[in-house]
Amino acid sequence: MAGTLHGFGLGVASKNAKGDVLDVFYPTPLANISGDLVSIFDGVSGELKATEIRALSDGLRSAGEHALADIAVRLSEAGRPVVASLLADNAAPQTVADAYLKLHLLSHRLIKPHGTDLTGMFALLPNVAWTDEGPIDLAELADRQLTSRLKGRVLEVASVDKFPKMTNYVVPSGVRIAHTARVRLGAYLGSGTTVMHEGFINFNAGTDGPGMIEGRISAGVMVGKGSDLGGGCSTMGTLSGGGNIIISVGESCLLGANAGLGIPLGDRCTVEAGLFVTAGTKVTVLDDAREAVETLAARHLSGQSDLLFRRNSQSGSVECLTNQTAIELNESLHDNN
């Protein structure tokens, strides 16, 4: 094998009673691999035997990858199912292990949102109970709950979902997350990102950081440096509703409390509190003298910078004018090291 690999991960898997993989934890995933590692990883995929893991560890050590080699040794001695996922190119995931590797690559900041093909991932991922004893197949949950009760314990079920919370797999450096269940594995959080209690970040979405997130970042949405998403605000994703516009928020933008966004924003834009701007929202554009120039659908303003969207308190119409000020984040709030 020659060239570059899209990704590789060696991890520990959880399985149900039938042997189906429920999740995979990759402690040190790799992306955009080239050089000697390409040949070392050639053909290394699926569940590995202890001898195969040790051979991989020897190859990694000879290539100078001592940290990953040490992890391989620890995995070989753990007595748990160890799987390898090899992504030769940026193709859709084929297995649960592939899907989890791609989610890890995003949350480890090795690939940015939209940088890896996630087509078909929902059909691959099992819906499981995420508990304080790890993921449990839903068909096995009732028996596990009874077993715990008979031992005088309560099995804590945190959620029932296809996606676990990110912090059970990786905590990126330089971030604060007030409520960890509100950030899914596969989210990308740049250094300096602060996610408050009601903030939410979906998979394949995130922030360049620094930024204050008190609203919702839906799947596929990326927020630029220095931007603030106010409490209760929402960005439209592409998973539901038939939308196919990729929403993004530029640098130094502000979405006010309970605002909503359905178009991409450039830099230094503001959407006032309580205003939801969709692609079809009729917007009256004002000039420097606050005189109406034209009325158009908001989609025609997509990606433009220095815009302020507001609702006229008298007429109720949505207006757009040049934003005279850019927000400035409190640097001390986003020094999360």
The one-letter code for the residue type at 312 is N
What Å distances lie between residue 219 and 154, 203, 236, CA to CA? Answer: 33, 6, 8
**Catalytic one among 65, 133, 156, 214?**
214
For residues 76 and 13, what is the distance between their CA atoms, to the nearest angstrom? 13
* Strand partners of residue 193: 211
**CA–CA dist 239, 246 (Å, integer):** 11
- Identify whether the C-beta of residue 235 lies closer than 8 Å to the C-beta of residue 220: no
Give the integer Cα–Cα distance in Å for 7 and 204: 16
Mutual orientation of helices 66-76 and 50-62 as an angle, nearest 10°?
A: 170
- For residue 169, the surrounding DSSP H or E stretch is none
Q: Among this protein's residues, is 214 annotated catalytic?
A: yes
Task: For residue 87, give both structure tokens.
Answer: 């992504």
Peptide bond into 81 cis (omega under 30): no
* Non-local CB neighbours of 17 within 8 Å, separated by 6+ positions: 137, 140
Q: Is 252 left (phi over 0), alpha (psi -120 to 50) or beta?
A: left
* 277 in Cβ contact with 292 (< 8 Å): no
Instruction: Confirm if 320 and 333 have CB atoms less than 8 A apart.
Output: no
* d(C-alpha 117, C-alpha 103), whole Å: 11
Indicate the SS3 state at residue 69: helix
* Selection from 182, 147, 148 nearest residue 164 by Cα: 182
| DSSP letter, residue 184 | B
**DSSP 8-state code for residue 126:** P
Which residues are known to be catalytic?
214
